[in-house]
A and B are shown apart, each in its own frame.
Chain A
């Protein structure tokens, strides 16, 4: 599990770095971005994992979201992994933007030919934290997760499927009910097969309905002018309805005029960092 530093840039007295490593889970080289706040030089810091959306690499978030200042201020290490295995030479992996490369959907594929490499769920859940905790001054007991769109979906399912693993979770315009939307149907069908009941294990709304009482405080921001909201890809209402029914605390903020872009993320990233800092630094 050797790490290879790809880049390092000083940022708000800390460092934004990119590393590359050979993933055992994904059987390919993976990159991830990691921001080390100034506090990491003297002590152990909590880790906040960011899961990006469709088509993204580790670069999008670290270059566009503008999270560094808040992360530096609250002393959070922020890890931004890639969104899928890359260069695995699987037939069709680069055919569409919403499946295959850049669209790992944070599931462990069970279908050929994906099941060897497309194990993003296990990669995010186990391998990556292990790697990070082994190589950086982290406090393994304190980690949280958030993401955008497909990453928001990933953050929600990881948090809901692993109670207690994450101190908090939040999402920007998450795909809340993938079994009900086109993106989800395509991806889940591709990675997991046609048995819809298997999909439910990776559907946040379904997970809420079946999950034990959760004390997670979930913050979701959603741009009101998000084209994917109106296209029915995100379906937050279903998730909120489920959470309301199951008494899962969610604050869902429908932000007037915002779309699905990183401009929207950058606008509210501070609120999310604070939201996580509240629980990570408690």
Chain B
């Protein structure tokens, strides 16, 4: 399609363009299209200027050989208007056509061929133009793919021209005018600077570089800006290609999946095929046996009936024959008598006659005396016989019944088949036996051999499953099952051991500890048998009282305690479930945990016998220092000398703060201690405890900050009523504050090797009120 040897004439291109033959001849529109198209391109290239310089260009080209030239301004202005109206639609149409005919592609190739020579080619094209319209036409055509389009539409004029020879000049004139414009464009382009040329060329060269998502076609970027795709969504071509590839890849994967699925399905079908064969073969045999039996029985019955019928017939015939014979004899005798009587009539001899006649009369009399039996001894019809099909019926029925079923197969315990008091047991049949019901037996698994009989239960079940209730939690039960039908009972299945879910554990609320970031939850199992693990469920309580949504579950906890990490200043509802093979228990009773501050309880078993914990669990009191009357019970773990008590261990790193309300005249020791601090000693008197001590001397309140029996000499002018204790594991500090006035009293710098317990002791009768769950006050940050 290059613009070689332009002299071949302007319609030569019609042969070159494969699209021409396919192009529907739409005379009117194609004309407009071409015009609009041209103008569109001019517009695009900043045609305004070119339009202005165009006449100059023309005038400069004084060697123009056709006279239509002067028509151009008018023509083009006319076209200008028309193109403005039609521009948009035309663009679209042209683009579509171009796409349809792959012109863009051709153009690309062509441009490749032209390569860098395009610019160089312009001057010859210009000079060539003077010689031949066609060559100009070709040249211009070779530059603009859209003109190519206009060109391709032009051949519609060819048959017109051929048939309407009377108007060739007009057609030619029009065509010429058009080609003039086209060439003008070519010219003007040629006349313009190289810059424009290169622009134009690069414009032509510009292949589709974006992808219109709306039309699903690659387009050129400027189409997005100006063209029909203006409002369409576009993507960069590479990325569009990527996404398209991805899409294809996805589809490939889907296909592969489907193939795999179908293969599986085919396998499955084959199996089913075989099973069907087998099943039907078995049933055929079954039918054969049964129907043969039935046929035999029928044949036998038939024989029997036939025989009986034959016998009856024979007897009847015999009887009738006998009657016939006797009847004949009688007839003979009658005939003989008649003959003898007639002979007698013929006897002339009277004497003889008389002699004979008497004898004859006697004989006749005697004969006639005998009654002639004319009754039929036998009826012609046969005896009514009932054809008995009952046996056959039974046989026929027996075709559908199968002998006693085979032993069912009991399933192993399925997950979530158990609750604390119930089990759902499932079983199945290995064969196709017809079963009317099942007999399910169970008993608890027990090591005692004697107890076998006592607890065995039997149930009749229609289905192949059964939920047994009223069982003991976390207990193993043995199950076995037999199938029954009219024909009998199957042997029992194997025994399967199921286990009920555990009872919900009980959270030991007295052992719960928490702080801003964590909680330690302890619980105990309510079952004798051990369980596999525990699950802790926590739900954060919001203002909406929508606390049922589990926000977190911690599973697989082997022990009866766990540290949960929480968010500060929240409230949590915490439940525990126990798990075994059978499933999980119900939720335990929930506990509420507030992460406003550190919370702990008092270890009652460490309390000195004279120390009482009052109702709320956080107030300790001592009424008298001696109790001479009786020996109070002493736990192994309790303080024996110091009237003290330990709080539970604070097992979380970080800062922990609590307060103790004290009376001004109460003597106390308040601080922290290791678990193993000596119970027979005083708090602060050893290296395993740190405490602030308040004593009243005759002259003043005295405050000691004791560790290993040592205290700094510190005077405090205001006896604290509310003592703040800040335990800071990270910074190895234990600080005391007068919480009412935010006054820092003292800080131990102590390297705690282990976690510590809060500790409290009274040295005179009095009361200490412990306040936990308090946020760390900001004024504790610095002394």
Q: Are A252 and B715 in contact (CB under 8 A)?
A: yes
Q: Are B718 and A249 in contact (CB under 8 A)?
A: yes
Q: Which residues of B contact A224 (CB under 8 A)?
A: 713
> In whole angstroms, how far apart are the Cα atoms of A274 and B700 in the complex?
28
The 0/1 profile, CB within 8 Å of A marked 1, for residues 737-780 of chain B is: 01001111110000000000000000000000000000000110
Asked if B717 is an interface residue, CB under 8 A from chain A, the answer is yes
The 0/1 profile, CB within 8 Å of B marked 1, for residues 24-47 of chain A is: 000000000000000000000000
Asked if A128 is an interface residue, CB under 8 A from chain B, the answer is no
Chain A at the B interface: mostly helix, strand, loop or mixed? mixed
> In whole angstroms, how far apart are the Cα atoms of A222 and B746 in the complex?
15
Q: Are B700 and A251 in contact (CB under 8 A)?
A: no
**Which residue of chain A has the shortest Cβ distance to B712 in the bound complex?**
A253
**Which residue of chain B has the shortest Cβ distance to A208 in the bound complex?**
B717
State which of A77-85, A114-122, A186-194, A240-248 sits at the interface with chain B: A240-248
Q: Which residues of B contact A250 (CB under 8 A)?
A: 715-718
A74-93 interface with B by 8 A CB criterion: 74
Q: Assuming the A-B contacts A274-B782, A275-B782, A282-B779, are A252 and B744 also in contact, with contact meaning beta carbons closer than 8 angstroms in the complex? A: no
B711-737 interface with A by 8 A CB criterion: 712-718
Q: Which residues of A contact B738 (CB under 8 A)?
A: 249
Asked if B123 is an interface residue, CB under 8 A from chain A, the answer is no
Q: Are A217 and B743 in contact (CB under 8 A)?
A: yes
Q: Are A251 and B712 in contact (CB under 8 A)?
A: no
The 0/1 profile, CB within 8 Å of A marked 1, for residues 692-722 of chain B is: 0000000010000000000011111110000
Q: Which of A215, A240, A244, A275 has the most CB of B within 10 A?
A: A244
Q: Are A275 and B744 in contact (CB under 8 A)?
A: yes
Asked if B781 is an interface residue, CB under 8 A from chain A, the answer is yes
Q: Which residues of A contact B783 (CB under 8 A)?
A: 271, 274-275, 278
Q: Are A247 and B717 in contact (CB under 8 A)?
A: yes
Q: Are A252 and B717 in contact (CB under 8 A)?
A: yes
Q: Are A256 and B713 in contact (CB under 8 A)?
A: yes
A50-107 interface with B by 8 A CB criterion: 74
A261-282 interface with B by 8 A CB criterion: 271, 274-275, 277-278, 281-282
Q: Are B713 and A253 in contact (CB under 8 A)?
A: yes
**Which residue of chain B has the shortest Cβ distance to A275 in the bound complex?**
B783
Asked if A254 is an interface residue, CB under 8 A from chain B, the answer is yes
Taking the closest CB of chain A, its distance from the CB of B664, in whole angstroms, is 12
Q: Are A251 and B714 in contact (CB under 8 A)?
A: yes
Interface size on B, residues (CB 8 A): 20
> In whole angstroms, how far apart are the Cα atoms of A217 and B717 in the complex?
11
Q: Are A248 and B717 in contact (CB under 8 A)?
A: yes
Q: Are B718 and A278 in contact (CB under 8 A)?
A: no
B225-283 interface with A by 8 A CB criterion: none
Q: Assuming the A-B contacts A275-B782, A278-B782, A282-B779, are A217 and B741 also in contact, with contact meaning beta carbons closer than 8 angstroms in the complex? A: yes
Q: Are B718 and A244 in contact (CB under 8 A)?
A: yes
Asked if A133 is an interface residue, CB under 8 A from chain B, the answer is no
Asked if A5 is an interface residue, CB under 8 A from chain B, the answer is no
Asked if A255 is an interface residue, CB under 8 A from chain B, the answer is yes
A195-248 interface with B by 8 A CB criterion: 215, 217, 224, 240, 243-244, 247-248
Q: Which residues of A contact B717 (CB under 8 A)?
A: 240, 243-244, 247-252
> In whole angstroms, how far apart are the Cα atoms of A240 and B701 in the complex?
12
Q: Which residues of B contact A254 (CB under 8 A)?
A: 712-715
> In whole angstroms, how far apart are the Cα atoms of A250 and B714 in the complex?
10
Taking the closest CB of chain A, its distance from the CB of B402, in whole angstroms, is 92
Q: Which residues of A contact B714 (CB under 8 A)?
A: 251-254
Q: Are A247 and B718 in contact (CB under 8 A)?
A: yes
Taking the closest CB of chain A, its distance from the CB of B369, in whole angstroms, is 164
Q: Which residues of A contact B712 (CB under 8 A)?
A: 253-256
Q: Which residues of B contact A275 (CB under 8 A)?
A: 744, 782-783
> In whole angstroms, how far apart are the Cα atoms of A87 and B714 in the complex?
42
Q: Which residues of B contact A240 (CB under 8 A)?
A: 715, 717
> In whole angstroms, how far apart are the Cα atoms of A224 and B781 in the complex?
29
> In whole angstroms, how far apart are the Cα atoms of A115 and B715 in the complex?
38
Q: Which residues of A contact B782 (CB under 8 A)?
A: 74, 274-275, 277-278, 281
> In whole angstroms, how far apart are the Cα atoms of A144 and B718 in the complex?
22
Q: Which residues of B contact A215 (CB under 8 A)?
A: 741
Q: Which residues of A contact B745 (CB under 8 A)?
A: 251
> In whole angstroms, how far apart are the Cα atoms of A256 and B742 in the complex?
26
> In whole angstroms, how far apart are the Cα atoms of A275 and B778 in the complex?
14
Q: Are B741 and A249 in contact (CB under 8 A)?
A: yes
Q: Which residues of A contact B779 (CB under 8 A)?
A: 278, 282
> In whole angstroms, how far apart are the Cα atoms of A254 and B714 in the complex?
6
Q: Which residues of B contact A243 (CB under 8 A)?
A: 717
> In whole angstroms, how far apart are the Cα atoms of A74 and B744 in the complex?
18
**Which residue of chain A has the shortest Cβ distance to B703 in the bound complex?**
A251
Taking the closest CB of chain B, its distance from the CB of A242, in whole angstroms, is 9
**Which residue of chain B has the shortest Cβ distance to A236 in the bound complex?**
B715
**Which residue of chain A has the shortest Cβ distance to B741 in the bound complex?**
A249
> In whole angstroms, how far apart are the Cα atoms of A247 and B664 in the complex?
13
> In whole angstroms, how far apart are the Cα atoms of A282 and B780 in the complex?
11
Q: Which residues of A contact B700 (CB under 8 A)?
A: 244
Q: Which residues of A contact B744 (CB under 8 A)?
A: 217, 251, 275, 278
> In whole angstroms, how far apart are the Cα atoms of A278 and B741 in the complex?
13
**Which residue of chain B has the shortest Cβ distance to A242 in the bound complex?**
B717
**Which residue of chain B has the shortest Cβ distance to A247 in the bound complex?**
B718
> In whole angstroms, how far apart are the Cα atoms of A278 and B717 in the complex?
20
Q: Which residues of A contact B778 (CB under 8 A)?
A: 282
**Which residue of chain B has the shortest Cβ distance to A240 in the bound complex?**
B715
**Which residue of chain B has the shortest Cβ distance to A220 in the bound complex?**
B715
Taking the closest CB of chain A, its distance from the CB of B705, in whole angstroms, is 10
B317-336 interface with A by 8 A CB criterion: none
Taking the closest CB of chain A, its distance from the CB of B489, in whole angstroms, is 88
Q: Which residues of B contact A255 (CB under 8 A)?
A: 712-713
Q: Are A278 and B715 in contact (CB under 8 A)?
A: no
Taking the closest CB of chain B, its distance from the CB of A200, in whole angstroms, is 20
Taking the closest CB of chain A, its distance from the CB of B527, in whole angstroms, is 54
Taking the closest CB of chain A, its distance from the CB of B189, in whole angstroms, is 65
A101-150 interface with B by 8 A CB criterion: none
**Which residue of chain A has the shortest Cβ distance to B778 in the bound complex?**
A282
Taking the closest CB of chain B, its distance from the CB of A248, in whole angstroms, is 6
> In whole angstroms, how far apart are the Cα atoms of A74 and B781 in the complex?
12
Q: Which residues of A contact B715 (CB under 8 A)?
A: 240, 250-254
**Which residue of chain B has the shortest Cβ distance to A250 in the bound complex?**
B717
Taking the closest CB of chain A, its distance from the CB of B9, in whole angstroms, is 86
Taking the closest CB of chain A, its distance from the CB of B160, in whole angstroms, is 88
**Which residue of chain B has the shortest Cβ distance to A253 in the bound complex?**
B714
Taking the closest CB of chain B, its distance from the CB of A218, in whole angstroms, is 8
Q: Are A251 and B716 in contact (CB under 8 A)?
A: yes
Q: Which residues of B contact A253 (CB under 8 A)?
A: 712-715
Taking the closest CB of chain B, its distance from the CB of A271, in whole angstroms, is 6
Taking the closest CB of chain B, its distance from the CB of A128, in whole angstroms, is 26
Taking the closest CB of chain B, its distance from the CB of A226, in whole angstroms, is 13
**Which residue of chain A has the shortest Cβ distance to B700 in the bound complex?**
A244
Q: Are A251 and B743 in contact (CB under 8 A)?
A: yes
> In whole angstroms, how far apart are the Cα atoms of A252 and B746 in the complex?
10
Q: Which residues of A contact B743 (CB under 8 A)?
A: 217, 249, 251
Q: Which residues of A contact B742 (CB under 8 A)?
A: 217
> In whole angstroms, how far apart are the Cα atoms of A281 and B738 in the complex?
20
Q: Which residues of B contact A277 (CB under 8 A)?
A: 782
A binding-site residues for B, Cβ under 8 Å: 74, 215, 217, 224, 240, 243-244, 247-256, 271, 274-275, 277-278, 281-282
B binding-site residues for A, Cβ under 8 Å: 700, 712-718, 738, 741-746, 778-779, 781-783
**30 pairs, A vs B, C-beta closer than 8 Å:** A74-B782, A217-B743, A217-B744, A224-B713, A243-B717, A244-B718, A247-B717, A247-B718, A248-B718, A249-B717, A249-B738, A250-B718, A251-B715, A251-B716, A251-B743, A251-B744, A251-B745, A252-B714, A252-B717, A253-B712, A254-B712, A254-B715, A255-B712, A255-B713, A256-B713, A274-B782, A277-B782, A278-B783, A281-B782, A282-B779
Among all A-B residue pairs, the 3 with the closest Cβ atoms: A254-B713, A278-B782, A243-B717
Task: Give me 13 other A-B pairs in contact (C-beta within 8 A), A215-B741, A217-B744 excluded.
Answer: A74-B782, A217-B741, A244-B718, A247-B718, A248-B718, A249-B718, A249-B741, A251-B716, A251-B743, A252-B716, A275-B783, A278-B783, A282-B779
